């Protein structure tokens, strides 16, 4: 229900009471749900980074079979390798944009 909405009798609700009740209801619902929690950030070892960088110099877009091989050889998941390559391409894009921006000025 919208803040300050009309109730059935036509009387306007007290906005503070409505928000307080709404907040309490949401808080109670959140307590009943299982905590979702995010994964802890992956810290790549120097060896993992070195091998991933070497692969990236060879090919920016790694095919799934090769990604699975890399993941297994590095002790990572397929998804971690996939995200590493996505982040690495984004890094190159940022660097290239900064380089172009410097030369335009």
Residue 55, exposed/middle/buried by CB under 10 A (0-12, 13-18, 19+)?
buried
Neighbouring C-beta atoms of residue 35, cutoff 10 Å: 6
Lowest pLDDT segment from 6-10, 19-23, 66-70? 6-10
Condensed to tens digits (0 to 9), the pLDDT of residues 28-52 reads 555 556 567 888 889 999 999 999 9
**Average pLDDT over all residues of the chain:** 79
Residue 12 phi, psi (nearest 5): -80, 135
**What DSSP character marks residue 11?**
P
Residue 105 banded pLDDT, cuts 50, 70, 90 = confident
């Amino acid at each position: 229900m919208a803040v300050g909405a009309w109730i059935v009798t036509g009387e306007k609700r007290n906005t503070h009471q409505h928000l307080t009740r709404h907040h309490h209801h949401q808080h109670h619902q959140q307590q009943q749900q299982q905590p979702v929690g995010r994964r802890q950030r992956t810290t790549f070892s120097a060896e993992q980074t070195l091998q991933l960088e070497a692969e990236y110099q060879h090919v920016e877009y790694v095919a799934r079979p090769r990604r699975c091989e890399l993941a297994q050889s590095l002790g990572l998941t397929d998804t971690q390798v996939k995200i590493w390559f996505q982040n690495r391409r984004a890094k190159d894009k940022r660097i290239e944009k900064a380089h172009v921006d410097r030369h335009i000025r």
